[in-house]
Structure 1
Amino acid sequence: MKSITLVRHGKSSWEFDVSDALRPLKKRGINDAKMVANQYVKSVKLPEVIYSSPAVRAFSTCKIFLEIFNLSEESVSVKEDLYDFGGESVIHFIKRLPNNYDSVMLFGHNHAFTSIANIFGDKFIDNLPTSGLIKINFDISDWKDFKQGTTEFIIIPKELKA
């Protein structure tokens, strides 16, 4: 049994004249990521390994989760393959994960994460919102066999505010 937790980066700011990869989080993005991380940590045990896109907004979101998890930045590996908006690079990355890891958390981007959640999970979502998280379990023993799985849960910031 393997599991993937996908976390879309927090709400980012467009007010700075920087490249896409350098866009920072807005205050709302920081607050939403903290809420989701706190909810996640109540629900399940921590993943065995964490990977993040190198984009500032994704890695900043990841660092918020690390703080809540009480882990250091050395606990995360930054991977260029996760700076992907279509999903093909992320799927290829997942299929190459080391088999000694059963539970993996990825920080990245849309449309890739919504697409992967809908292709490989069993609950359709219109859109994984910023700071949204989805955990999918797979009945496989080798990541190269990555296929349809079962969506365990979805955490949406807006639903936590209700």
Structure 2
Amino acid sequence: MKTLYLLRHAKSSWKHDVIDHQRPLKQRGLNDAVLVSKHVVEQVKAPQKIISSDAERAMTTALFFKEAFKVKDEDFTTNHNLYDFGGRQVLEIIKNLNDSWKRVMIVGHNHAFTSIANMLGDEYIENLPTCGFVKLQFDEKNWRDVNVGKTKLTVFPRHLKTKEDE
């Protein structure tokens, strides 16, 4: 059995004069990363590996989850191919994961992550929001064989906020 955690980066800021790849999180994104990571760590087992896009906003988001799950440095890595908005490269990464890993978290971008969640899960998600988390579970023993699994959990920041938080 394989479990995949998909995490879209938290809300980024557009007020900095930097290239897209270097855009940081805005304060709301930082707050959401804390909120969602604290909630998710109570709901699921820690991933054995976290692989993040090397874009600033994705790496920063991933680090909140790394800390919350107490993932070791050697079990955290970045992959430039997760800086993908279509999904083909993301799917290739998933299919080539090390089969010794049962639980993996990948952190990246839309529209790729909404597409992958819908392609590999059994529940339709119209749009995976910023800092949205999805847990997918597969019966397969090898990552290359994963196809349609079960969407076991979705956590979006808006599910965890009260009206006063927004």
Which of the five TM-score ranges fits, normalised by the shorter chain? over 0.9
Q: Give the equivalent residue in structure 1 for 2:111.
A: 111
Deviations 1:75-108 (A, max 9, x none): 3111111110000000011101110001100010
Q: Give the equivalent residue in structure 2 for 1:148.
A: 148
Instruction: Give the alignment of 1:35-114 within 5 angstroms.
Output: 35-114=35-114
Deviations 1:108-137 (A, max 9, x none): 000000000111101101100000000000
Q: TM-score, normalised by structure 1?
A: 0.97
In the TM superposition, residue 73 of structure 1 has moved relative to its aligned partner by 4.1
Q: Give the equivalent residue in structure 1 for 2:136.
A: 136
Q: Give the equivalent residue in structure 1 for 2:11.
A: 11
The answer as to whether partners of 2:33 and 2:131 remain within 8 angstroms in 1 is yes
In the alignment, the residues of structure 2 paired with residue 106 and residue 13 of structure 1 have an alpha-carbon distance, to the nearest angstrom, of 21
In the alignment, the residues of structure 2 paired with residue 72 and residue 56 of structure 1 have an alpha-carbon distance, to the nearest angstrom, of 20
In the alignment, the residues of structure 2 paired with residue 38 and residue 122 of structure 1 have an alpha-carbon distance, to the nearest angstrom, of 26
Q: What percentage of residue pairs aligned between the two structures are identical?
A: 48
Q: In structure 1, list runs of 5 or more residues that go unmatched.
A: none
In the TM superposition, residue 74 of structure 1 has moved relative to its aligned partner by 4.0
The answer as to whether partners of 2:48 and 2:71 remain within 8 angstroms in 1 is no
Q: TM-score, normalised by structure 2?
A: 0.94
Which letter maps to 2:86?
Answer: G
User: 3-state DSSP class of the match of 1:18?
Assistant: coil
In the alignment, the residues of structure 2 paired with residue 74 and residue 29 of structure 1 have an alpha-carbon distance, to the nearest angstrom, of 26
Greater shift, 82-91 or 63-72, is seen at 63-72
In the alignment, the residues of structure 2 paired with residue 59 and residue 42 of structure 1 have an alpha-carbon distance, to the nearest angstrom, of 22
Deviations 1:24-56 (A, max 9, x none): 000100110111111111111101111000000
User: 3-state DSSP class of the match of 1:7?
Assistant: strand
Give the superposed CA RMSD: 1.0
Which letter maps to 1:118?
Answer: N
Q: Go from structure 1 to structure 2 and tell me whether the alpha carbon gap of 1:73 and 1:95 turns closer, same or farther (over 3 Å shift).
A: same
The answer as to whether partners of 1:63 and 1:73 remain within 8 angstroms in 2 is no
